[in-house]
C-alpha cells in the first residue's frame, strides 16, 4: 500500500464519515471524498474535519453518486491506497427499491471499483450481521445470496436493515469470488463523541434521548435483559481508519462496546443527565410491536417498528476486534461518560422555549 495514494471514502459528509476523515488526515493520510455535490460540500467538510482535529487541506473531492451507473464518476480516479465505503441511505420506512439501489447496488459498484484498483475495501455493515439467530429467523443464507428470499427479508426487517444485510452478504460473495481484500466493520448503534458528545439529530440514539426528554418513554421496551449495544463515534472512526491502513487486519471487526448497559441502565444514565426521572416499568416487545401496528402511533410515539430489532437480548463475541484494538493501542472510552456526553450535547441543541428537535420525526 502506497502511503502517498489517497484513500477513497464514500459517505464522507455523514456523521461517521466526517470523523473518519479527521482521523485519517490527522495521521497525514490524503483522503479523496466521493461527494454528490463536491463544490457545495467540500468547504464545509474541510471545516468540520479541522474542527475535529484533522487536517482539512489533505482532503480532496470527486463527484460521484451511489445511485448512478458506475457511481456517476466522470473522471478517472488516481491510484488508491484503500477504499472505505460508508455511504448509504439511512432512514426508517425506506421503500425497497430505493434502499436496494443505493445500499446494495451502490455497495457492489464500490466493491468493483476497489477490485479494479486492487485496493483493500473497508466496508461498513452493521452489528446485526453478527446476530446469527436473527439472520436465521429472517431466512438469510450466509454463503449464497441467491438462496435468500430478499422480498421476504425486506418485508420483515424494513428497507434500511434489509438492504444493509443484503449488501453485506452480496459484497462478501463478490469479494470471495473475485479475490478482493475485504475488511467488514460492523458498528453497533453509534453514540456521540466521547469528548463533546457531538451527535447528529437524525441518529437513532439522539432520537431515543429526545423521546426520553419529551416524556414519550413512560416504559422501557423489552425486559431487564434487553440492550441497545453502542459504540462511541470517535472510537469507531479510529477503528475504521486503522482497518484501512494497518498491515494485518481481521476480516470482520465488530465495533460494539460490550460494557454498554442494559436499555434500562442506558435510559437511567440519560435521564440522570437530563435531570428527569428514569422510566422503571417494562413494556414487553410483542405489546409494543402490536401498538406500533396501529396507524398513526409510530409517528406519535416517534418510534418505528423496524427500530425495535436493534433492541435485543443477544450478547456478542468481540474477541477478534478487542485483539485488533489492543494491537493498535485503541480502547473503548467509558460508555457511561459517552452516554452522558451525548445527552448533554442533545440538551445544548435545544433552543430555550423552542422546538429544535422536532425534526427527528422525519429521520431514522
Ligand atoms: N449511525 C449508526 O448508528 C450506524 C450503525 C451501524 C452502521 N452504520 C452505517 O454507517 C454508515 C454511515 O452512517 P452515518 O450514521 O454516518 O450516516 P449519515 O450521517 O446518514 O451519512 C450517510 C452518508 O451517505 C451519503 N450518501 C447517501 N446517499 C448517497 C448517494 N446516493 N451517493 C453518495 N453518497 C450518498 C450521504 O451523503 P450526503 O451528505 O450527500 O447526503 C452521507 O455522507 C452507513 O453505511 C450506515 O448504514 C451506521
pLDDT of residue 82: 98
Query: Which distant-in-sequence residues (6+ apart) come within 8 Å of 176 by Cβ?
Result: none
Cα dihedral sign, 106-109-114-117? negative
Q: What are residue 290's phi and psi, to 5 degrees?
A: -65, -40
Q: Return the ∠ at Cα 149 (arms to 144 and 154), rounded to 5°.
A: 115
Q: Is the CB of 206 under 6 A from ligand 1?
A: no
Ligand 1 center–CA 177 separation, angstroms: 27
pLDDT of residue 186: 98
Contact assessment for residue 96 and residue 162, using Cβ atoms and an 8 Å cutoff: yes
How distant is the alpha carbon of residue 49 from its chain centre?
18
Cell reading at 327: 494491537
Q: Is the CB of 10 under 6 A from ligand 1?
A: yes
| pLDDT one-digit tens code per residue, 8-64 | 999 999 999 999 999 999 999 999 999 999 999 999 999 999 999 999 999 999 999
pLDDT of residue 256: 98
Q: Tell me which of 42, 62, 86, 252 to substitute to probe ligand 1's pocket, judged by most ligand atoms within 8 Å of the beta carbon.
A: 86
**How much is the mean pLDDT over the chain?**
93
More confident residue, 3 or 169: 169
More confident residue, 143 or 13: 13
Query: What are the sequence ranges of the domains in the chain?
Result: 7-189+230-255, 195-229+260-314+332-348
Q: Is the CB of 85 under 6 A from ligand 1?
A: no
Q: Is the pLDDT of residue 199 over 80?
A: yes
Q: Is the CB of 324 under 6 A from ligand 1?
A: no
Instruction: Report the alpha-carbon distance of residue 225 to residue 262 in Å, rounded.
Output: 6
Contact assessment for residue 229 and residue 127, using Cβ atoms and an 8 Å cutoff: yes
pLDDT of residue 355: 44
Instruction: Report the alpha-carbon distance of residue 114 to residue 85 in Å, rounded.
Output: 10
Strongest mean pLDDT among 85-94, 117-126, 307-316: 117-126
Report the atom number in ligand 1 closest to the C-alpha of 10.
Answer: 34
Q: Is the CB of 322 under 6 A from ligand 1?
A: no
pLDDT of residue 1: 66
How distant is the alpha carbon of residue 34 from its chain centre?
18
Ligand 1 center–CA 17 separation, angstroms: 8
Contact assessment for residue 55 and residue 26, using Cβ atoms and an 8 Å cutoff: yes
Ligand 1 center–CA 291 separation, angstroms: 30
Q: Is the pLDDT of residue 140 over 50?
A: yes
User: SS3 letters for 113-141?
Assistant: HHHHHCCEEEEECCHHHHCHHHHHHCCCC
Q: Is the CB of 30 under 6 A from ligand 1?
A: no
DSSP for 17-32 reads HHHHHHHHHHTT--EE
pTM (predicted TM-score): 0.95
| pLDDT one-digit tens code per residue, 224-261 | 999 999 999 999 999 999 999 999 999 999 999 999 99
Look up residue 324 and give its DSSP letter: H
Q: Return the ∠ at Cα 239 (arms to 235 and 245), rounded to 5°.
A: 145
Contact assessment for residue 169 and residue 145, using Cβ atoms and an 8 Å cutoff: yes
Report the atom number in ligand 1 closest to the C-alpha of 68.
Answer: 31
Q: Name the 3-class secondary structure at 5.
A: coil
The domain 7-189+230-255 having CATH identifier 2.40.160.40: the answer here is no
Amino acid at each position: 500500500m502506497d502511503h502517498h495514494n489517497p484513500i477513497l471514502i464514500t459517505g464522507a459528509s455523514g456523521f461517521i464519515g466526517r470523523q473518519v476523515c479527521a482521523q485519517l488526515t490527522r495521521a497525514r493520510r490524503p483522503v479523496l471524498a466521493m461527494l454528490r455535490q463536491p463544490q457545495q460540500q467540500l468547504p464545509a467538510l474541510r471545516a468540520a474535519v479541522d474542527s475535529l482535529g484533522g487536517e482539512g487541506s489533505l482532503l480532496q473531492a470527486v463527484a460521484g453518486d451511489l445511485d448512478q451507473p458506475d457511481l456517476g464518476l466522470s473522471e478517472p480516479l488516481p491510484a488508491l491506497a484503500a477504499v472505505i465505503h460508508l455511504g448509504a441511505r439511512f432512514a426508517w420506512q425506506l421503500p425497497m427499491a430505493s434502499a436496494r439501489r443505493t445500499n446494495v447496488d451502490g455497495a457492489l459498484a464500490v466493491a468493483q471499483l476497489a477490485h479494479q484498483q486492487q485496493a483493500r475495501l473497508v466496508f461498513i455493515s452493521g452489528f446485526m450481521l453478527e446476530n446469527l439467530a436473527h439472520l436465521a429467523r429472517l431466512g438469510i443464507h450466509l454463503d449464497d445470496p441467491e438462496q435468500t428470499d430478499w422480498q421476504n427479508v425486506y418485508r420483515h426487517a424494513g428497507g434500511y436493515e434489509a438492504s444493509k444485510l443484503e449488501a453485506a452478504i452480496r459484497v462478501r460473495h463478490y469479494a470471495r469470488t473475485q479475490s478482493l481484500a475485504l475488511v467488514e466493520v460492523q458498528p453497533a448503534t453509534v453514540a456521540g463523541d466521547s469528548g463533546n458528545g457531538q451527535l447528529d439529530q437524525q441518529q437513532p440514539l439522539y432520537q431515543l434521548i429526545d423521546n426520553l426528554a419529551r416524556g414519550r418513554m413512560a416504559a422501557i421496551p423489552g425486559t431487564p435483559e434487553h440492550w441497545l449495544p453502542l459504540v462511541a463515534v470517535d472510537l469507531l472512526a479510529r477503528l475504521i481508519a486503522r482497518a484501512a491502513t494497518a498491515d494485518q487486519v481481521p476480516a470482520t471487526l465488530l465495533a460494539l462496546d460490550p460494557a454498554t448497559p442494559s436499555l434500562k441502565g442506558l435510559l437511567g444514565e440519560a435521564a440522570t443527565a437530563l435531570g428527569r426521572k428514569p422510566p422503571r416499568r417494562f413494556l414487553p416487545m410483542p405489546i409494543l410491536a402490536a401498538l406500533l401496528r396501529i396507524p398513526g402511533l409510530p409517528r406519535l410515539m416517534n418510534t418505528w417498528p423496524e427500530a425495535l430489532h436493534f433492541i435485543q437480548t443477544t450478547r456478542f463475541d468481540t474477541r477478534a476486534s478487542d485483539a485488533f484494538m489492543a494491537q493498535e493501542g485503541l480502547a473503548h472510552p467509558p460508555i457511561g461518560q459517552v452516554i452522558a456526553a451525548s445527552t448533554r450535547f442533545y440538551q445544548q441543541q435545544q433552543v430555550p422555549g423552542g422546538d429544535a428537535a422536532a425534526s427527528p420525526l422525519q429521520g431514522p
